[in-house]
Amino acid sequence: MILHEADENTISPDTPILVGAAQHIDRWDGHSSACAPSPQSLMCAATRATLHDCGAAEIAAHIDVVAVIRLFADSLSGIPGAEKFGKCDNLPRYVARENGIMPKRAIYSVVGGQSPQALVNEFAEEIYAGVASAVLLTGAEAIAAAKMALRQDMVLDWSDVSDDDEDMEDRGFGSYFVNGYEIANGIGVPVQTYPLFEHALRARLGQTRAEHAADMAELWHRFSKTATANPYAGFRQERSAEFLSAPSAENYPVSDPYLKWHVAQDAVNQGAALILTSVRKAAELGIPQGKWIYLHGYGAANEKMISERTDLSRSIAAEKSLGLAFESARIMAGDATHMDLYSCFPCAVFIAAEAAGINWRTRQLTLTGGLPFFGGAGNNYSMHAIAEMVMKLRACPNDYGLIVANGGFLSKQAVGIYSARPKPDWQPVSSSGIQAEIDAMQPVAKLEGNITADIESYTLSYKRGRPDRAIISAVTENGRILAHTSSSDANIAAILAKLAKPAHDPIGRKVTIESPENSNIITAIAQ
C-alpha cells in the first residue's frame, strides 16, 4: 500500500536525484595486450556513457565530487599476481582528468559491496544540504583481464602516477569484517564463511540438504535466465535447476553446500557510473525530467562480528536497514515492483527477502542476473544494479524499486528505494538509531578450552573434488565456539567423511573440540 501521492508543488529544489547511469563491459579475448581493458579504462568508458546519458552537455563542468569504489585488489592483501600490473594511485582524479571534470573532492571508498548504495545515500544528503552540487560515482573491475594475462604470462601496465598536488580522500579498509579469533578458526574467506549462514538458515527452516539444494538451484536458475537477456552480463548462459543442483565437471563442489555456479564469479571486465545532482541543478542544466530518479528512502547498518551474532541464519542489519528504508519511503515491501537483492551466495538473497517480507518463490529478485551470472565485479556490483534500476524506472515511472547492497559477511547493509515519482518533502534519513540498537545487543559469549557442544552450522571445503577441511560453529547454553579440522589429526578422514555423508546431517550432533594453542580443533563428531 502506497502511503502518499507526490504533489510536485511540494518538491524542494534541493531534492537529490539520479540523472545519469551507464554500464560498460569489455569481452577482451586475450590476444592483444594493447586492447586489454584496465580498471580505469572501464571506469572512463562508463563515465563517458553516463555523462552522455544525462542529456546535458554542460554537466561535467558542474561535477564537484568524484568518488570511486575501491578495487578488489586494494581491498585485500596478498592477492596473487596483483603487483604485476602496476596501479593507478589516484583513480578519482584519473577518471576526472580523462573526462574533462575538475572536482573539488576526490574520494576512494572503503571496502565492501555496500559501498555503491552507501555512497548514493551519503551524497544525496550532501546535495540536499548544498555541500555538493553534482557527484559522479564510478567503479570497475578488470579481473577477467588480469586472470587471462597471468595465465598467458602477458605484461599489462595499469600504472599511473598522479601529480603531487592532486589530493585524494582515501577511506581505507573501513571497519573489519572478521576478528583474529574467527580467522584462527577458519572464518574469513567468503566461500568458507557463507556456508555457515546457509546451513544455519536451512536448519531454521527445517529443510534437508536435498530440499535446500533444490531451493538454491531454483533461485539461481531464475537469476541465470535474467542474465541471458542482459547485454552487460558476464555469463549469459541459462543454467537449469537440474544442472545447478548436481555436482559435475562443470559445476564441481567448492564448499558444502556450494557448487561452482552457486557463488559469485569475479572473472569479469565491467564498469558502471552514476551522476547525482539536485532538482534545481538538473532544471538549470536542462536535464529532461524523464531522466530524473528520486531516492525515496534508505537505510544502512553494520552487523556484529560473525561469532558474536545471536542467529547465524538472519541479518539484523538487513532487517533494520530495510525497515528504515520502507518507513522513510512511506511504502511497503509489496509496493516495490522491481528489486535487486545482493546475491553473492544464495543465503544472502534468502535472508534479505525474508527480512523484507518478500516471497522469493513468487518475486523476481534481480535486475542484472546476480553475482554468479551477471558477474561479481568486486565491491562495485550494486552500482550495476542501481544503473539497471534507473533504466527500469524511467521506463516504468509509476513504479518503485528496491536495492539491497551487502558488504563482507552479511556485515554491512545499505538499502535504497527509488522511483521516478517525485519525492515530496525530501529529508535526510539517519541510520544512527538502528545502528545503536544493533550495537546494544548482547553478543553471544565465546567458549574456550576443551568442550563438547552441539553443531550449529558447518562447512566442508573441497580440493580436487574431495573434502579437505571442515569448519564448524557449535553451541551450548553458555555460548558459541568456532573450530576446524587439523591436517595433522589422525581422525581427520573420519570426521570429513562423516560430515560429507549425504544421509548424515551434522546439525544438532555433538562435536568434541580441543584447544591446544591458538585455535580450536575438531577431534570427534557423534554418529
**How do the pLDDT tens digits run along the chain, 527 residues long?**
343 444 455 799 999 999 999 999 999 999 999 999 999 999 999 999 999 999 998 999 999 999 999 999 898 765 556 678 888 999 999 999 999 999 999 999 999 999 999 999 999 999 999 999 999 999 999 999 999 999 999 989 999 887 756 799 999 988 889 999 999 999 999 999 999 999 999 999 999 999 999 999 999 999 999 999 999 999 999 999 999 999 999 999 999 999 999 999 999 999 999 999 999 999 999 999 999 999 999 999 999 999 999 999 999 999 999 999 999 999 999 999 999 999 999 999 999 999 999 999 999 999 999 999 999 999 999 999 999 999 999 999 999 999 999 999 999 999 999 999 999 999 999 999 999 999 999 999 999 899 999 999 999 999 988 999 999 999 999 999 999 999 888 889 989 998 988 778 999 999 999 998 889 999 999 87
Angle of helix 209-228 relative to helix 346-356, nearest 10 degrees, comes to 90
Give the CA angle between residues 507, 509, 514 to the nearest 5°: 110
Q: Does domain 451-525 have CATH number 2.40.50.840?
A: yes
Q: What is the pLDDT of residues 183-235, one digit of tens each?
A: 999 999 999 999 999 999 999 999 999 999 999 999 999 999 999 999 999 99
Read off the C-alpha cell for 230: 542482459
Q: Compute the distance between CA of residue 433 and CA of residue 139 in angstroms, rounded to an integer.
A: 30
Q: Where are the domains of the chain?
A: 8-177+265-440, 451-525
Write the DSSP string, 409-459. TTTEEEEEEEESS--TT------HHHHHHHHHSPPPPBP-SSEEEEEEEEE
Q: What is the pLDDT of residues 331-350, one digit of tens each?
A: 999 999 999 999 999 999 99
Claim: this prediction has a pTM higher than 0.85: yes
CATH class of the 8-177+265-440 domain in this structure: alpha beta
Q: Compute the distance between CA of residue 306 and CA of residue 266 in angstroms, rounded to an integer.
A: 24
Average pLDDT, the chain: 94
Q: Compute the distance between CA of residue 118 and CA of residue 255 in angstroms, rounded to an integer.
A: 30
